[in-house]
Each structure stands twice: as structure tokens, then as C-alpha cells.
Amino acid sequence: MKKAFTIAAVIMTYTLISGCASQPLSTFEIFPAEDLNSLVSSGQYIQKIDNFFVINDSSSSMTDNYLGAGYPAQPSPTKFSVEKEILNRINLTIPNLRLTSGIRSFGFGPCLSWQFTRLNQAPASYSKPSFAGGIDTLTCASGGSPLNSGIEGSGKDLSATTGHTAVLIVSDGGVDNDPLPAVKSLKQQYGDKLCVYSVWVGNEEDKYGQAVLNQLSDIAGCGFGTTAERISSPAGMAKFVQSIFLKPATPKIPDCSVLDDDADGINNCNDKCPNTLKGAHVNQFGCWIVDVKFDNDKSNIKPAYYPELNNAATVIRQNPGVAIEVQGHTSNTGTVEHNRKLSERRAQAVKDYLSRNTPTGSTLTARGYGLTRPIDSNDTETGRANNRRVQLEVIK
């Protein structure tokens, strides 16, 4: 009797194994994956994660035919076949990155060596051929759906990794036990360095499972859930892969101390007048100043300053059509009203001189700002002297 029982057990085991191995695998149409490498090589995007780990549903419910769109194949594919095709398409779309990748499955029976979960590919350096080899170890589906066991196992698998990790769960969402505690534990273990994504591979009667999977990302506080149909096109898959693996690069802020946009010899950090014309005489603040000294409370121009004004006129002639405001400025010595009127008279005097020596196509206007626009401190004589100025500003 004992011998007969042993033989019967062997026959039963062989039947289960052979039945599992005989599950048909579908042949899918060639997938024209989009190339994301240009996003990385151009500097627009940078790598977002360091580890990519898949938890695949290899339970018996995945042997049902997949009734959704986007995965034409011969013969008609099972949900399990679509899972593998999704992983293949992800593999084709991942750009050239330095990653660690791995795969674990969950279910029960001969397809998982009679365990509730199986490590199909331990985390190792990613390459398209090696990851494809890991996908090939997913040969069949059987047993219940202990997703919680797969999640718990992944916590141990990832213990030797460093950096940021994306866990991808591919399933129809039909589970035997609540997986949320396992996700909470995983999140506590890896904190902000862990994101959980999911792809729902199910039919209409599996709709409840989609909600289950979406909860996993909600609990993790990072990641999101999608469906097989949404990522079936090359564009949809590219967007999905980009969301997991890449993030926009932080724009580099140019160093203003080595830039001089208007070529006036004053770097952008210190240039308070960044649009002066080429050849204009500027002060230490980069402002176009005509160095004309007026007698106290006077606005007439002395002949000694004609060469300075002639230089300004030459610059204007070299830029026909330009519109320039001739600005009069003062220090804070004296009353506001007195300084305003004095600055207007001085600006008008300079404007009248330049108008006689510049093309009619240029527009010159005069305006007095008095003491309202200092460019230096009024606490020192040097600062007040810098503030008493006639300044030319390009306004158009």
C-alpha cells in the first residue's frame, strides 16, 4: 500500500507539473518601443531611481484569457502572457541607465516550486539581455494569490541595495490576504527612497482588483497605478517608463560673475544697467554716464565736457533708430522739489546737445528724477558724487 501511494503521489505531482508547463504562451506582434535616450543625452532629464524591482502575479487567475485591448497575439493571450509582454515592453523602452533590477513572483504550486513566492531574479546590475532572461523564468501560473508574501519577500531582496527604488506590481489585483500591512512595513523599511507602482492586468470581472492595486501606491505615498490598456501603445509605455525612471533635470543657473551680456566690461552680477550700447562709457555699476560736472545749482555745459558728449553722440549714431532717455539724477542734498527741477534742467541741457549731433531717426527724451534713484550711498561724499549724474538709458 505504501508503495502504491508513493507512485500515485509521483503521478499526481507529474500531472500538476506537466499541466503547468503546458500552459500556452502567445506570440505578440513586434513592439516599436520609443527611444528615451535622447531625453537623457540632451540633459533634459536625469535618472530618478537606482533599483527597479518587479513583483509578478503568477497565480492561477492569470491563466484566464485577457479580454482587453492593445495586446494582439496568437493564440489569444492569457493575462499571464500579457504580464510578460508588458515586462518585455518595459525592458525595450528603458533608456541606457545604470540600474539594479530584479523579479519576484507570487502564487503557489509547481510554477513557484510549491512556495507562496519565488525569487526569479535576484537584484543585479541591469541590462536588457539579463532582464529579459529574468522574464523568461516566469514560465507559468498556478495557485492562490498571496501578494502579501511577494511584498514581504521583496523587502528582504532589496536589503542589499542602496539609493531610490521603484517596486512594480503586475497583477489583476485578486488577492487572498490584505497586502496593505506588507506595503506599510516595506515603506517603514525604506522610507522616502521607495515608490510603489502597479499595472492592473484584468478583465471586467476583476475591476475590484484595480482598486486594491491603487491603494498600494496610496499607502506608499509615492508612485501610482495604471492599467495594461493605458500603456499598450508605444507612447503610453514611453510615458509610463519615463515617469518611473526619469525626472526633469534642474536647470543650471548661469554664473552671473562670468557673464557680460551687453559687453560693457561690467559683469551681470554688478551691472545695474544691463542694456547699454556698445562703446558707451559706463561707470562701475555698468550705467551709461556722461561725465559732465555742473557748477553748483547750474545746468549749463562747459566746453571741457564736449568730447564726452561727442562720444555719446557717436554711439547713438552707430545705433540709428534707438530710443534713449536722458536722465538727470542728484544726491539727497537739498529739498526734493529743488533737486527734481535741477535734474530736469541738466537732463534737458544734455539732451539738447546730443540732439544737435545725432540722426533724426533716434529718439531722445529728457527726464529729471532728482534724488529718487540713487545708485550709491548718500552717506559719503563719494557716494553722493556718484548719484549726481546724467545717465543715458536705452528704453527701446
Domain CATH for 268: 3.30.1330.60
Last residue of a domain, one of 248, 282, 314: 248
Residue 141 lies in a domain: yes
Domain co-membership, 192 together with 277: no
Task: Give the Cα separation of 210 and 202 in Å (integer).
Answer: 8
State the chain's maximal CA–CA distance in angstroms.
130
**Residue 391 neighbours by CB under 8 Å, 6+ apart:** 273, 287, 288, 289, 290, 326, 327, 329
Q: Among residues 270, 286, 383, 293, which one has the least CA distance to residue 346?
A: 293
287: left (phi over 0), alpha (psi -120 to 50) or beta: beta
Residue 4 lies in a domain: no
**Residue 263 neighbours by CB under 8 Å, 6+ apart:** 278
Task: Give the Cα separation of 240 and 231 in Å (integer).
Answer: 7
Residue 213 lies in a domain: yes
Coil, strand or helix: which one is 104? Answer: strand
DSSP letters spanning 143-168: S---HHHHHHHHHHHGGG--S-EEEE
Helices within the chain (DSSP H only): 2-21, 37-41, 79-93, 128-136, 147-157, 180-190, 207-220, 234-245, 306-317, 336-355, 381-387
Question: What pLDDT tens digit does each residue of the chain (396 aa) get?
Answer: 333 333 333 333 433 433 444 466 789 999 999 999 999 999 999 999 999 999 999 999 999 999 999 999 999 999 999 999 999 999 999 999 999 999 999 999 999 999 999 999 999 999 999 999 999 999 999 999 999 999 999 999 999 999 999 999 999 999 999 999 999 999 999 999 999 999 999 999 999 999 999 999 999 999 999 999 999 999 999 999 999 999 999 877 888 888 888 888 889 888 888 888 888 888 888 888 887 877 777 888 888 888 988 998 898 888 888 888 988 888 888 899 998 998 899 889 888 988 888 776 778 899 999 889 888 899 998 888 888 888 888 887
Domain co-membership, 211 together with 288: no
Residue 9 lies in a domain: no
Domain co-membership, 227 together with 307: no
Domain co-membership, 196 together with 314: no
Domain co-membership, 244 together with 260: no
Domain co-membership, 244 together with 102: yes
Please give the model's pTM, rounded to 2 decimal places.
0.66
Cβ 370 vs Cβ 329: under 8 Å: yes
CA distances (Å), origin 233, targets 46, 77, 239? 24, 17, 10
Given this model, what pLDDT does residue 338 score? 92
Residue 198 lies in a domain: yes
Asked if residue 129 has a cis previous peptide bond (ω within 30° of 0), the answer is no
Domain co-membership, 67 together with 191: yes
Q: Among residues 227, 220, 161, which one has the least CA distance to residue 186?
A: 220
Domain co-membership, 238 together with 359: no
Residue type, 323: A
Residue 83 CB coordination number (10 Å)? 27
Domain co-membership, 242 together with 262: no
Given this model, what pLDDT does residue 362 score? 76
Last residue of a domain, one of 248, 265, 298: 248
Task: Report the domain count for the chain.
Answer: 2
CA distances (Å), origin 255, targets 44, 252, 352? 20, 9, 40
CATH of the domain at 61: 3.40.50.410
φ, ψ for residue 88, nearest 5 deg:
-65, -40
φ, ψ for residue 367, nearest 5 deg:
-150, 135
Domain of residue 319: give its range: 256-394
Count helices and strands in the chain by DSSP H and E runs: 11, 14
Task: Give the Cα separation of 223 and 83 in Å (integer).
Answer: 19
Given this model, what pLDDT does residue 10 score? 35
Given this model, what pLDDT does residue 11 score? 33
Task: Give the Cα separation of 93 and 245 in Å (integer).
Answer: 10
Domain co-membership, 289 together with 222: no
Domain co-membership, 231 together with 260: no
Task: Give the Cα separation of 186 and 151 in Å (integer).
Answer: 8
Domain co-membership, 208 together with 262: no
Task: Give the Cα separation of 267 and 285 in Å (integer).
Answer: 9
Last residue of a domain, one of 248, 268, 294: 248
Residue 15 lies in a domain: no
Q: What is the DSSP letter of 268?
A: T
Residue 41 lies in a domain: yes
Handedness of CA 271, 277, 283, 284 (dihedral sign): positive
Residue 371 lies in a domain: yes
